[in-house]
Structure 1
Amino acid sequence: MSEAAAEPDPMSALVRLFKGLADPTRLRMIAAMVDRPRCGQDLAAEVGLSPATVSHHIRVLSDAGLLRETRQAPYTFYQLDLEQLQGAVKAVSSPKRVRELATAPAVGQDQRAVLRAFFDGPRLVALPAQRRKKEIVLEELLRRLPRRREYREPELNRFIEVVHPDYCTIRREWIVGGYMEREDGVYRLAPRGRAVLGG
């Protein structure tokens, strides 16, 4: 297995974890498992559900990485993995962390290092001179655009200006790099740009 394939996708894991929490019944079950491990029968009695329904919810919570299991035959006991829950909350605890998380599936560790070097929060500090670094930055800027079939030039300028004042240079670099095409003051994603955005 390649290193890239082995590396977990932080966004997918976090989405799975929060989906695991997005159910009132599962929240009640989690509350019952905070202080001590509970078996399926205990949980069924606690939340007033059938064992089969409890088993389904336990499977969802386990897949989300929220439970620790211990076996004491003939029972399996489950307890909330508080560290996992705290880690998920920490992952969305600041604007910077949310932005880093949002770029994680699309870019690798080296690309994120480039983005950290050239962005100060949401603002682009400078456009890199080195071609590959410039491409990484241009592709990140493209990902930050609202999705549109086409962009009129004044509208595109406003979007770019939020991130960097020199919107003329950014627009030109998108055209030169093959990310966008321009006709009569209207910009559309070129095949390379659509590939960056996954469509």
Structure 2
Amino acid sequence: MSDAADPKPALVQLFKGLADPTRLRMLAAMVDRPRCGQDLAAEVGVTPATVSHHLRVLSEAGLLRETRQPPYTFYQLDIEALQGALKAVSTPKRVRELATASPVDAETRDVLRAFFDGPRLVALPAQRRKKEIVLEEVLRRLPRRREYREPELNRFIEVVHPDFCTIRREWIMGGYMEREAGVYRLAPRGRAVLDGG
């Protein structure tokens, strides 16, 4: 489940695997003993085709152990994989590390270290490239919304840095956001940042 270079994709896939009520019921049925697809279909009350789909998702998420006993394949929850994922998000510090753990270049890492003290932005850099790195990092910390009213956006920014007016203005000038009648929306450049582009 772990990717030494960047654990994020594997963790995201694991948590996506858990983000479905049917899959959770299937995992609960597999906690104590291995189950075959037919058992799971009967236990959870879904079709064998639905079970097959969910088993594939759970397997790709690294949550299953498989044992083949022809003509059946038996599945059991890989409790160690689940515990490892929970440990990865078990403290605020780990969550912050995970949120910023990405395959970034040395320059970006150095800038973030120099201008952030934990979750807080200490100062906005004067140099354009460094400023962009910082503005993009603050943007990534916003809750995803289709639009933001100005007072709401101010509150979100204030968690990171007290000068929300400057940050807002820089996002507009940098093409990360657009503003109309006190409502802010992500511009294509801002959407690209949040989509990992």
Q: Specify the TM-score bucket, using the shorter chain as the normaliser.
A: 0.5 to 0.7
Structure 1 CA distance, aligned partners of 2:182 and 2:32? 62
Map 1:97-176 onto structure 2 (within 5 A): 97-102=94-99, 108-110=103-105, 111=108, 114-115=111-112, 118-145=115-142, 147=145, 149=147, 152=150, 157-176=154-173
Structure 1 CA distance, aligned partners of 2:184 and 2:86? 39
Tell me what 1:3 maps to: none
Tell me the secondary structure at the aligned position of residue 79 of structure 1.
Answer: strand
Structure 2 CA distance, aligned partners of 1:183 and 1:28? 46
Tell me what 2:18 maps to: 18
Q: Does the CA contact (< 8 Å) of 1:40 and 1:54 recur in 2?
A: yes
Structure 1 CA distance, aligned partners of 2:37 and 2:75? 8
Structure 1 CA distance, aligned partners of 2:156 and 2:76? 47
Q: Does the CA contact (< 8 Å) of 2:18 and 2:24 recur in 1?
A: no
Residues 166-199 of structure 1 show CA distances to partners (whole Å, capped at 9, x for unaligned) of 335434543553434678988665553344345x
Residue ranges of structure 2 left out of the alignment (5+ in a row): 1-5
Map 1:36-55 onto structure 2 (within 5 A): 36-43=33-40, 54-55=51-52
Provide the TM-score with structure 1 as the length reference. 0.64
Residue ranges of structure 1 left out of the alignment (5+ in a row): 1-5
Structure 2 CA distance, aligned partners of 1:177 and 1:47? 51
The change in CA–CA distance for 1:68 and 1:133 in structure 2 (over 3 A counts) is farther
Provide the TM-score with structure 2 as the length reference. 0.64
> Which of these residues, 70, 80, 85, is aligned with residue 82 of structure 2?
85
Structural RMSD (CA) = 4.2
Structure 1 CA distance, aligned partners of 2:10 and 2:100? 10
AA aligned opposite 2:103:
G
Tell me the secondary structure at the aligned position of residue 164 of structure 1.
Answer: coil
Residues 114-155 of structure 1 show CA distances to partners (whole Å, capped at 9, x for unaligned) of 545533343112334554332121012223345464654x66
Tell me what 1:192 maps to: 189
AA aligned opposite 1:66:
L
Structure 1 CA distance, aligned partners of 2:47 and 2:146? 48
Q: How many residues align?
A: 188
AA aligned opposite 2:55:
I
Tell me the secondary structure at the aligned position of residue 34 of structure 1.
Answer: coil
Tell me what 1:177 maps to: 174
The change in CA–CA distance for 1:182 and 1:57 in structure 2 (over 3 A counts) is closer
Per-residue deviation at 1:18? 1.8
